[in-house]
């Protein structure tokens, strides 16, 4: 069993990683809590024992359920049961569940504790850690949300045994990102060790830059996500998040090459790693470059000079401002064909 600490001073919290980790949940419920709301989905086969009186509330399946209406329904359920600020929300599920439940916990009574129990690979390596919560609008992904750090995160690798193959591969897309953030040898590690290594990388970044400041490191976690989020939105979520991020990594490498930041060999490294995880290198047919650019401009702050991307370069990943539409359009033409 691994324990990684997300160091945020008096708001620090542990992330447990290992087989059977969910059985330690009762030890991680905040002291004094007398009730726990378990937010999950009907299709998730894993139950948890919070060690206090608990009641389950369900979020619908599908990315369409990641919306403000779901947050409202949860908060109304909390209110009807009489949940108060000393109680706790426990999110059991993938990134959709932890995002929606985390946001509901952040806004109900202006904030109550939340513990995440991610049951997908994507949730365990990334989505459940770091305190970002949020829901989608029709205009784009994760446009409404809050920073709300959990009291603990429990990554039970046993829950990954029931994942459909495509959902598991989606998690590998997020894991691929960490390879370019400096986590070496991921493909050679046992699964539990690889998850813990990704968690440790994210914990280090979040500890340095909790709220993604303009000059901080946390924005680097968005590598591959600018196009990735746009692909999810414009494909109406036919693409899984990790699939879209994998394509976004290839796009970012090709954009960096067009701007003279990396060479052909580095682009080939990106493509080889994404392909090694059996993830697509190109978007599905039928997507329009103009629409993707419009959605990307919403996802990241743009200036009069152009869009902002996290790109590879001689000094590793960096934020690059003012990338012009011509360079973006030309690179999109490469990956869309």
Cα separation values, 205 from 72, 82, 169, 253, Å: 31, 37, 24, 22
Catalytic residue selected from 174, 192, 210, 232: 174
State the Cα–Cα distance between residues 281 and 278, nearest whole angstrom: 9
Q: Which residues touch 43 (CB under 8 Å, ≥6 apart)?
A: 61
Active site residue 202: yes
- Find where tokens 């024992």 sit: 49
Catalytic residue selected from 177, 240, 241, 300: 241
Catalytic residue selected from 218, 240, 254, 257: 218
Active site residue 66: no
Residues forming beta bridges with residue 89, ordered by sequence position: 37, 114
Active site residue 174: yes
| Per-position b or e across 128-148, b if 16+ CB within 10 A of its CB | bbbbbbbbbeeebbbeebeeb
Active site residue 241: yes
Catalytic residue selected from 141, 169, 229, 270: 229
Active site residue 218: yes
Q: Are 88 and 50 in contact (CB under 8 A)?
A: yes
Active site residue 225: yes
Active site residue 177: no
Active site residue 23: no
Q: Are 121 and 267 in contact (CB under 8 A)?
A: no
Residue 69's SS3 state is: helix
Catalytic residue selected from 202, 240, 270, 300: 202
> How does DSSP classify residue 127?
I
Catalytic residue selected from 80, 110, 138, 236: 110
Structure tokens, 337 = 């064909």
Catalytic residue selected from 212, 269, 318, 334: 212
Structure tokens, 278 = 């059996």
> How does DSSP classify residue 159?
G
Catalytic residue selected from 22, 35, 116, 132: 132
Pairing of strands 13-18, 152-156: parallel
Catalytic residue selected from 22, 225, 240, 270: 225
State the Cα–Cα distance between residues 276 and 221, nearest whole angstrom: 21
What residues are annotated to the active site? 110, 132, 174, 202, 212, 218, 222, 225, 229, 241
């Amino acid at each position: 069993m691994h324990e990684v600490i997300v160091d945020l001073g008096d708001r620090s919290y542990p992330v447990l990683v290992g087989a059977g980790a969910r059985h330690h949940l009762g030890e991680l419920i905040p002291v004094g809590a007398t009730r726990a709301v378990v937010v999950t989905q009907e299709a998730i086969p894993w139950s948890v024992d919070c060690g206090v009186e608990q009641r389950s509330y369900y979020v619908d399946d599908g990315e369409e359920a990641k919306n403000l209406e779901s947050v409202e329904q949860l908060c109304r359920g909390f209110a009807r049961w009489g949940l108060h600020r000393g109680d706790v929300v426990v999110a059991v599920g993938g990134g959709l569940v932890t995002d929606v439940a985390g946001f509901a916990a952040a806004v109900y009574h202006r904030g109550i504790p939340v513990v995440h129990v991610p049951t997908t690979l994507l949730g365990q390596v990334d989505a459940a850690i770091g305190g970002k919560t949020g829901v989608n609008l029709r205009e784009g992904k994760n446009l409404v949300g809050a920073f709300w750090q959990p009291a603990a995160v429990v990554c039970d690798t046993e829950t990954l045994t029931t994942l459909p193959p495509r959902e598991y591969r989606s998690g590998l897309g997020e894991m691929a990102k960490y390879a370019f953030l400096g986590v070496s040898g991921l493909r050679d590690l046992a699964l539990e060790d690889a998850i813990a290594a990704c968690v440790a990388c994210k914990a280090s970044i979040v500890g340095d830059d909790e709220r993604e400041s303009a000059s901080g490191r946390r924005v680097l976690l968005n590598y591959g996500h600018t196009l990735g989020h746009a692909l999810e939105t414009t494909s109406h979520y036919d693409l899984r998040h990790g699939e879209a991020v994998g394509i976004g990594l290839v796009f970012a490498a090709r954009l960096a090459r067009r701007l003279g930041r990396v060479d052909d060999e580095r682009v080939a490294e990106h493509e080889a790693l994404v392909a090694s995880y059996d993830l697509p290198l190109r978007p599905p047919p039928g997507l329009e470059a103009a629409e993707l650019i419009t959605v990307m401009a919403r996802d990241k702050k743009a200036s009069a000079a152009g869009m902002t991307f996290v790109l590879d370069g001689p000094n590793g990943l960096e934020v690059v401002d003012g990338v012009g539409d011509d360079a973006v359009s030309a690179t999109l033409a490469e990956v869309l064909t």
